[in-house]
Chain A
Amino acid sequence: MKIELRAEPFDPLAELQRHQVERLELKGRYGATAIFIGTMRDYSDRLSIGRMMLEHYPGMTERQLRKLVEIASQQWPLLDALVIHRVGELRPSDPIVLVAVWSAHRAEAFAACRSIMEELKSKAPFWKREDTAAGPRWVERNTPG
């Protein structure tokens, strides 16, 4: 299991490839990999967004991410999980989050990936502040999944 916060842009597909190479011992054991990549849009609530700041609570954010991945690992038989989340300043089209899980079969991979993502949205302490054409604003709630 690997959980990381990044202050600079990252390439989710390159990260996935690197992670799979690092975890060569899993080769042949997993039959399913489910991934979710969240990317910054250039609009929100009909306003165009030029930039976004992602604030977090250093220490608690990492702890809560680890906890929700551990809970998913207890619920489904996962072989591995990788979560990378951005903090700091983002621009439209920048990846925000990568969630990837590896398991023997697809049902648990799909379910765990979805669960980790939904739990992250409601429990991991991150806050988005968007710079809109009408000025900066804090995002107050998540859109329905």
Chain B
Amino acid sequence: MTVYVKYFASLRDRLGRAGDQVSVAETTTVAEIWATLWPEIALPSNTLAAVNMEYASLQQSVRDGDEVAFFPPVTGG
């Protein structure tokens, strides 16, 4: 299945790109998406994740066509 990944703010700057498209097996979690894409970079502990624009835990499983986002703590307002 295909998953669309987005990165924002300082995390995007650090990774050097704004997103990825990745093919993974069914029953893949958010954490496994990161590990597949960035095997040599541990996910920073304060990173937030979202699936289809709703906050998600790293253990949440993703489905074909989902949009998964990783970003640092938010600082609006």
Residues of A with Cβ closer than 8 Å to B?
38, 54-57, 59-60, 63-64, 85, 96-97, 117, 120-129, 138-142
Contact = CB atoms under 8 A, between A and B. Distances in A.
Contacts of A96: 76-77
Contacts, number: 73
A138 B74 contact: no
Nearest to B13: A138
A117 B73 contact: no
Contacts of B9: 55, 127, 129, 138
Interface string B61-77: 00000000101111111
By secondary structure, the A interface counts as mixed
Nearest to A61: B76
Contact of B77 (A55, A63, A97, A129): A97
Number of contact residues on B: which range applies? 10 to 19
Contacts of B77: 38, 85, 96-97, 117, 120-121, 124, 126, 142
B53 A59 contact: yes
19 contacts: A57-B50, A57-B69, A60-B54, A96-B76, A120-B76, A121-B74, A121-B75, A121-B76, A122-B74, A125-B8, A125-B76, A126-B77, A127-B10, A127-B72, A127-B74, A138-B75, A140-B73, A140-B75, A142-B75
